[in-house]
Amino acid sequence: MDMEDEISKVEQKRHALTTTLILLEEILRNHRINLLLISMLITLIRPNGGKRKRGGRGTAEPLMDAIPAHVKQLDRLVRISDRSCVDNLRMDRNTFGRLCRILRDRVGLIDQKFVTIEEQVSMFLCILSHHKKTRIVGHDFMRSSQTVSKYLHTVLRGVLTLHDLFLVKPTPIDDDCTDSRWKWFKGCLGALDGTYINVRVPLADAPRYRNRKGQITTNTLAVCDRHLRFVYVLPGWEGSAGDSRILRDAISRPRGLKVPRGCYYLCDNGYANSEGFVTPFKGVRYHLKEWGPGTQAPQTPEELFNLKHTKARNIIERSFAVLKMRWGILRSPSFYPIDVQTGLIIACFLLHNFIRSQMEVDPIEELLGGQIEEGYGSDNDEVVADHISIVNPTTSWNSKRDDLAKAMWAEKNNA
């Protein structure tokens, strides 16, 4: 009995010891969990709790620092305010979003592993808007200049494929038009003129691109409607090439400048008054600056016709002014090859049309205000180009112009 009692006491002590160890282990586990919870609470409550060692020193890292810099740059441009988006990318946030959607759906641009479509388009627009170099844009977006250059060409190709979508189809002035500027020009599709755009070319090619003023430029022919939207663009000619050469090529091309029968464009005296082109009377004052305050009112039917003609045709000068104010890359030569520069010029025209169609108020036009109305000078005003060699003035269109001038004069005298 004594032996059995001893064994029973030993087992009881062993069981009590085991129970005690289990309780201690549970207490320690709970203690560690409590310490972890307390540590997490302290981390969340403390404002500068997150620490990360860089270079052997602990530095505070707020939550926003964890967001990549290029993401923050994109947010700052296109997700905060329309004003910021317009100032930097020349379009509001809705227009920017629609452009990205079109490039995604119709062109096939896709988000890359590290660069979204929105960032690709933003870098492209920054270059066009402010004529920034790729390394400057790369610094702003925390990208390499090679990455910026890659997506510049990618987006450029995408925009150029949308020319059929972005170029507008002109509507002729009809009999119901009440706009005093246009109501006399029934059947008019818009205005036609050329503009010089500075480019950079190899020294060997410089003489071909030197214009009459000694600048290295490309001569761009364009047609716009009365809403400042471009209908036709033909860039890429040497600065020394006259408008006649450009127009001759445009007419001869299968997909060149088309003028429906009975319709016409308003042109200056660098062109011939013939089918499809109505020009002012020669030897009669014409430019808006000649009709300013303090000048004599029209004294003949020809002068009255020229006054109304120049007021209507001034739409092309306004279009060029808004275009060049919008896109800084058109105001100074860039370092891209000439074929890329030509593509960028076309892209500026196309995007100008897209912005005009999407934004109810064009901030660039508002900024220029009445400056253009007062006679914003044409790039070619000082030098009149040769007449179109393959399109001669026609008697029927000269008579049409004479009859129109007489009708204007008759209305003025009967008013």
pLDDT at 266: 94
Considering only CA atoms, give the Rg of the chain.
35
The tens place of each residue's pLDDT in the chain, 415 residues long, gives: 566 666 666 667 776 777 776 777 777 666 666 666 677 667 667 655 444 444 444 444 454 454 566 677 777 778 788 888 899 899 999 999 999 999 999 999 999 988 999 999 999 999 999 999 999 999 888 899 999 999 999 999 999 999 999 999 989 999 888 888 899 999 999 999 989 999 999 999 888 888 888 889 988 889 999 999 999 988 766 655 555 455 555 544 434 677 888 899 999 888 888 888 999 998 888 777 776 666 778 889 998 999 899 999 999 999 999 999 999 999 999 889 999 999 999 999 999 999 999 998 888 888 877 555 544 444 444 333 333 444 567 888 899 999 999 999 998 888 6
187 Cβ contact list (under 8 Å, min separation 6): 172, 173, 262, 263, 264
